[in-house]
Amino acid sequence: KRVEGISALRDESDKDGMRIVIEVKRDAVGEVVLNNLYTQTQMQVSFGINMVALHQGQPKLLTLKECLEAFVRHRREVVTRRTIFELRKARERAHILEGLAIALVNIDPIIELIRRAPTPAEAKAALVSQAWALGNVAAMLARAGDDAARPEWLEPQYGIRDGHYHL
């Protein structure tokens, strides 16, 4: 559909932004042509919106500002929960890697202890009851911090204690 009063239309958009030039006929009034563009095209569109949302457990009609604030609060809570979850998983994994590093430093005594044990249960009990030398793992753990790789559920008798590592 053509809008009356327009003689030429040019697209002068470039990498800096969008620009459309509308040339008006000599006998047309610019304000009238602009109003026709607004009413007969999608150059200006208005629509109603019903922003009812649950706010603190109750349905409430929110303003745009309140809606944005609620969304930001929600995203902050989601990111915080996800970060805490990922930190917990990383600490559990770091604790396992810490034990493997200690086992690697003490590989010969550990293999000997496992071979001498008559059952796997006794081998596990002997591994857990003994204190193991830290070796070069101590410097690595000191850089990370004492409790950086310690899961919250780990009992205090395990980990680094008195200069030795307790599995």
Domain that holds residue 29: 6-40
pTM for the whole structure: 0.55
Please check whether residues 31 and 86 belong to one and the same domain: no
153 is a domain residue: yes
Residue 147 has pLDDT above 70, yes or no: no
CA pair distance 19, 115, nearest whole angstrom: 80
Count of the separate structural domains present in the chain: 2
Per-residue pLDDT at 76: 96
CA 135/CA 161 separation, integer angstroms:
14
| 57 located within any domain | no
161 with 89, same domain: the answer is yes
**Span 3-47, pLDDT tens digits:** 888 999 899 999 999 999 999 999 999 999 999 999 888 888 888
pLDDT of 113 > 80? The answer is yes
Phi, psi for residue 6 in degrees, rounded to 5: -105, 125
CATH number at residue 102: 1.10.268.10
Please report whether residue 92 resides in a domain.
yes
Residues 158 and 97 in one domain: yes
